Structure formats: structure tokens, C-alpha cells
Amino acid sequence: MIFMDIQMPEMDGIEATRIIRQRQRDRNRYPTYKSPIIIIAMTANAMAGDREKCLAAGMDDYLPKPVRPEDVRRVIERWAAT
């Protein structure tokens, strides 16, 4: 499980997620990128449409900041069995 910050300095979380998902599809070249890799978006920019943008990029779930412990627990419990 990856908690992916959307606003990173070199490469944002959207682009990083797209690369991970592309590598998962190319098993011959990237055999260690096995499925499932659960990616949870984390962002302070909780604006309308952000969740959908993250999910469209290949993320599995979304946590707005400030992150609350009960929300982290809920997400972990939801995806732990995957």
C-alpha cells in the first residue's frame, strides 16, 4: 500500500501513479511491479474534482489532509484484504 502525496517537488503523485500503473502492465520489463499495488492519494488540495482526478490516474482511494487517524484506519481496513 502506497500513501501517495499529490504535491511532490520533482514529480507529482498523479504522474508517479501513472508510471507505476504503466509498469504494472509491462511485466516483461518490470517483473517486480506486481498487482495489486494499492495507491491512496493524500492531498491538502481537497477541491471539487480532485478525488475523481486521482482515481482516473489509477489511484484506488483518496484521503484529504489534514489526515485523521480514523480515516487512515478505515482505508487500511478497506484495502488490507486485497
Q: Which residues of the chain have pLDDT under 70?
A: 45-46, 82
**pTM for this entry:** 0.86
Chain centroid offset of residue 22 CA: 14
Q: What is the tens place of the pLDDT at every residue in 13-35?
A: 999 999 999 999 998 999 998 87
CB 47 within 8 A of CB 26: no
Q: Which cell numbers in the block locate residue 26? A: 509491462
| CA–CA distances in Å: residue 77 to residues 1, 4, 23, 82 | 11, 17, 26, 10
Mean pLDDT of the residues in the chain: 89
